[in-house]
Amino acid sequence: MPGGDGVIAYAPAQGGGLWIVKGDSLSFTTVQHLDPLTGVALPVGQFSSGVLDLINVDGAPVAITRLGDAIERLDVTSGALSTVSGFTGPARRLAAAGPGRFVVEIEQGVVLFGAPPALWRFPRPLRR
């Protein structure tokens, strides 16, 4: 796909196209809107630190950041970030789960012989 080289995370964007984070975009923090027909990617905002996973929740990009220690929602209109943190272990994956909802896979901290990850459901998108 034109413009898709170096992408480390992507999600469908509101109104079409994709939100992408490239490996060369300011330490994996800049979100761009990619038009898949033209290959043109324009910056729309920035997360506080490197993005590990990215989804669309109610029209806003939501990402795991800070090496799994935080989840952030980016308001693409204002550039404002909303953050939630303080999990029992690092966040690894995100999945949209209907309007205003998403699920996060959280590792269960340091446990002898490991422990299976837990799924945490967020009933509404993060707000500033």
How many other CB atoms are there within 10 angstroms of residue 67's CB atom?
11
The number of distinct structural domains making up the chain is 1
Do the domain assignments include residue 2? no
Answer whether 60's CB lies under 8 Å from 76's CB.
Answer: yes
Q: Residue 119 — pLDDT band, cuts 50, 70, 90? A: confident
| Amino acid letter for position 109 | G
Dist CA 14 CA 105 (whole Å): 24
CATH no. for residue 67? 2.130.10.10
Asked if the structure places residue 77 within a domain, the reply is: yes
And the tokens for 71? Answer: 């989840």
Nearest in space to 105 (alpha carbons), one of 73, 71, 72: 71
CA distance 17 to 40: 10
* Structural domain span for residue 46: 7-122
Supply the pTM of this predicted model.
Answer: 0.86
At a CB cut-off of 8 Å and minimum separation 6, what does 37 contact? none
pLDDT of residue 23: 84
Question: Per the domain annotation, does 128 fall within a domain?
Answer: no
Residue 34 in any domain: the answer is yes
Averaged pLDDT for residues 15-41: 86
Query: Is 127 domain-assigned?
Result: no
Q: Which of the four pLDDT bands, split at 50, 70 and 90, describes residue 13?
A: very high
pLDDT band at 110 (very low <50, low <70, confident <90, very high): low
Alpha-carbon span 1 to 46, nearest angstrom:
23
Asked whether residue 27 is domain-assigned, the answer is: yes
- pLDDT tens readout for residues 40-89: 999 999 999 999 999 999 899 999 998 899 999 999 999 999 998 888 78
For residues 44 and 34, give the distance between their C-alpha atoms in angstroms, rounded to a whole number: 10
What backbone phi and psi angles, to 5 degrees, belong to 29? -110, -20
Residue 1 domain-assigned (yes or no): no
